[in-house]
Structure 1
């Protein structure tokens, strides 16, 4: 019985890895899935058949290529529906959005990344930045640095060392000393800012949300076009509202 459970768990893990192959592809052929996953062809054939039957993949009758189906969103829906922060945060984030007149996002910390789970759109935001489920690393995002600043120094250093720190744009800071200076600044002032490090021409302000024990569980982000606001307006329009929001959510 235990062996059967272990086999089922392993099969589920492998199937999840197969779905991850579609991260940056709308459709994939069977051969492309084999190449991306490193699995043998017969195993990929069995798993794609199972995932099509379950409704998580669809296969084009014309091209025989596979793609993700809408059912892939069901686990995300269940996660969001049960997350204790989402319902509580919604009216507070809406107020911040009205106050700032900029895009406001909520993210949660998982391992060494932040995942966006709620977004309140502005009229100027790029389409792909508005989708929930998007993940950003800790080292180059303002939300990530605010989270690192809320952790004990040794733990934050360990997380930074684990990250690959690849440049996402030509402005992404990847030098550990430079990143650590940004983290220390965030620790001192209670918030972080990053310009064009994840998306060019976008400036993002963020502050960490802390649980009752003081540990960070996520962040609130306010994003605007770089240069859209004069520097002396930033504190009044964004930072004060941001800090008040995370206090209400903590």
Structure 2
């Protein structure tokens, strides 16, 4: 998954040692649970001595755990406190939660809230349905905006040139054989979402899944996040799914957007 943009390091306020510690934590992105010190150094781009000092410090602070038998490191439970505090204090999450619970009750399919993070979105509410793959239900999962319904719906709320620059900055690696990666085709999907007020993605992030998404705006009228409804292609035809789910989706997004007016 594409990581957040790297900040300039020539700023006198930038603390390189802290950045190196964060690189150690980010080394676990997309990896298995445990990493050796050599693997941490390789994945973080740090030399082994620096990786060892940073990993030891993170372990002492509780942000890394260590297997007593193999001496390999894993992310520590202490990190969950940051996720909890972020979600607990995010005003959109607080406002959206009861409305998404009601939407989930009405549609009986998975309902999500994601936050916009330029080339990616991050899920912060995931209300699962009767059947799910394990990783699709986890809060904190990142998805590229170019091939997700919610992502395209959010890009549609930006000026066309800005949306294009975000698409161009994306790696556009296909997640499934059905992912649309051609820039012109993606921009056409975004234009359709701008016209319709919502977007649909069929099997572009998970084979067999279709998703509707609509954007939630901030006080400046820019995309803050998106509400998603996802279901199985084995149970729904795209047209019937949209006809059944769109009224509830658009109603929920309309209510959430009223909060900034």
More helix by share: 1
CA deviations on 1:55-91 (whole Å, 9 max, x unpaired) are 0101111111101111111111111111001111111
C-alpha distance in 2 between matches for 1:86 and 1:103: 17
* d(CA) in 2 for partners of 1:227, 1:36: 39
Which deviations, in whole Å up to 9, do the C-alpha atoms of 1:27-78 show, x marking residues without a partner? 0011111111121111111111100000010111111110111111111111
Q: In the alignment, is residue 152 of structure 1 matched against residue 167 of structure 2? A: no
TM alignment of 1:66-215, pairs within 5 A: 66-215=73-222
Which residue does 1:217 correspond to in 2?
A: 224
User: 2:8 maps to which residue?
Assistant: none
Secondary structure class of the residue paired with 1:193: strand
1:19 — aligned with what?
A: 25
Q: How far has the Cα of 1:231 moved from its partner?
A: 4.9
Is residue 44 from structure 1 mapped to residue 55 from structure 2 by the alignment? no
Q: Compared with structure 1, are the counterparts of its residues 232 and 147 closer, same or farther at alpha carbon in structure 2 (3 Å cutoff)?
A: closer
The separation in 2 between residues aligned to 1:195 and 1:36, in whole angstroms, is: 33
1:214, distance to aligned residue in structure 2 (A): 1.6
- d(CA) in 2 for partners of 1:247, 1:67: 42
* Among candidates 231, 239, 242, match of residue 246 of structure 2: 239
How far apart are the structure 2 equivalents of 1:122 and 1:176? 33
Distance in 2 of aligned mates of 1:128 and 1:100: 22
| TM-score normalised over the length of structure 1 | 0.94
Query: Contact (CA 8 Å) 1:104, 1:223: kept in 2 or not?
Result: yes
CA distance in 2 between partners of 1:30 and 1:8 (Å): 26
- What are the ranges of 5 or more consecutive residues in structure 1 without an aligned counterpart? 1-5
Q: Give the TM-score normalised by the residue count of structure 2.
A: 0.90
**Unpaired stretches in structure 2, ≥5 consecutive residues:** 1-11
Counterpart of 1:30 in structure 2 is 37
Distance 1:190 1:227, change over 3 A: farther
- The total of aligned residue pairs comes to 246
Q: Does 2:96 correspond to 1:56?
A: no
User: Does the residue aligned with 1:239 lie in a helix, a strand or coil?
Assistant: helix
CA contact 1:56–1:71 (8 Å) conserved in 2: yes
Q: Could you tell me whether the CA contact under 8 Å between 2:27 and 2:43 is conserved in 1?
A: yes
Change in Cα spacing, 1:20 to 1:159, as seen in structure 2 (3 Å) is same
CA pair 84-7 structure 1, distance change in 2 beyond 3 A: closer
